[in-house]
Amino acid sequence: MKTLALPGTLDALEPLGEFVRAAAAEAGFDAMAAGRLHLAVDEMATNSVTHAYEEQGREGQIYLEAEIDDNELRVALEDTGPAYDPTTRADPADLDRPLEERGIGGLGIFLARKNVDALLYERRGDRNRLTFVLHRRPASRT
Amino acid sequence: MLEITSTDHPEYLQISLRGEITSASASQLERTLAELLAKGPPPRWLLDLGDLLFTSSAGLRVFLTFAKRTKTAGGRLAFCNVRPAVAEVFEVSGFTQILTIAPDAAAAAVLLGAA
């Protein structure tokens, strides 16, 4: 298992992207699949930084893990913010609306869920833990 | 990392993006586009995404805001050279229906009425 701890600021997003893409490459995923996973983790890490830390006026870290077995790649993202489960949020309802009626935002969690095979939440001690799962089957998401 | 280059053409202003748009770089793009709009907006804009490798919803938010502002200002906006990874995010988010997207700069110029 590989791990990485980063400061809970937006500056973490660039090394986070490199970490996730490296894990995806190691698990044999192509650039498109790696990009989908990167997007999912980036969205939820942005939420962690803004909601768990910046809006609370707190400092903290985000913690990444990547684990590969025969069947899947699992990337975990943890923060020490207040308990929050994003996996229960409803999808935006305006995805098919014309330009004038489209809301700004609300897409992050939707994109995170849409771009992995599973997105799991658990509260572990003082941490929110999100696990992003990609199944290792050839051409699984095309 | 995001690099933003603007190039004047006789009929339109081209803005080329290189790198990645995350929440860390989106504000830089938002600021640049707002400054260009404030300068006395040209009626026609081309956003060349040929070297844009990644965008999160933070980038989508900037694009949507800019598309709305351009429209309100009576201008035209087209995107071109969108790479597959970014095109997929546009598609999933329903942006393919609300943005003008052309395969390349020449086709975009036609859509902008500038060819």
Provide, as residue numbers in chain A, all residues whose Cβ is less than 8 Å from the Cβ of B52: none
CA distances from A86 to A14, A27, A49, A95, A123 (A): 22, 26, 14, 19, 12
pLDDT value at B115 more than 70: no
| Stretch A43-54: mean pLDDT | 95
Instruction: Report how far residue B13's alpha carbon sits from residue B57's, in angstroms, rounded to the nearest whole number.
Output: 24
CA distances from B16 to A73, A115, B27, B51, B80 (A): 35, 26, 16, 8, 10
A 41-100 residues with CB < 8 A to B: 42-43, 46, 49-50, 95-100
Top mean-pLDDT range of A132-141, B6-15, B40-49: B6-15
User: Which of A46, A100, A104 is the closest to B56 by Cβ?
Assistant: A46
CA distances from B2 to A38, A39, A118, B26 (A): 16, 16, 30, 9
User: Sheet holding B76-80: strands in order across?
Assistant: B2-8, B13-21, B44-55, B76-80, B101-102
Mean pLDDT of chain B: 94
Q: Mean pLDDT lowest for which of A80-89, A103-112, B105-114?
A: A103-112
Instruction: Specify the DSSP class assigned to residue A50.
Output: I
What local confidence, expressed as pLDDT, does residue A39 receive?
98
Chain B residue set in contact with A, beta carbons under 8 Å = 1, 20, 22-24, 53-54, 56-58, 60-61, 64-65, 67-68, 71, 84-85, 88-89, 92-94, 97-99
pLDDT value at B45 more than 90: yes
pLDDT category, A45, cuts 50, 70, 90? Answer: very high
| Stretch A50-61: mean pLDDT | 93
Top mean-pLDDT range of A53-57, B19-23, B65-69: B19-23
Question: Which tens digits make up the pLDDT trace of B86-96?
Answer: 999 999 999 99
Is A46's CB within 8 Å of B94's CB?
A: no
Here the tokens at position B109 are 């110029």
Is B56's CB within 8 Å of A42's CB?
A: yes
Instruction: Report how far residue B41's alpha carbon sits from residue A106's, in angstroms, rounded to the nearest whole number.
Output: 29
Report the percentage of chain B scoring pLDDT > 70.
98
| Stretch B17-46: mean pLDDT | 92
Is A96's CB within 8 Å of B94's CB?
A: yes
What local confidence, expressed as pLDDT, does residue A101 receive?
85
3-state secondary structure B60-114: HHHHHHHHHHHHHCCCEEEEECCCHHHHHHHHHCCHHHHCCEECCHHHHHHHCCC
Report the percentage of chain B scoring pLDDT > 90.
85
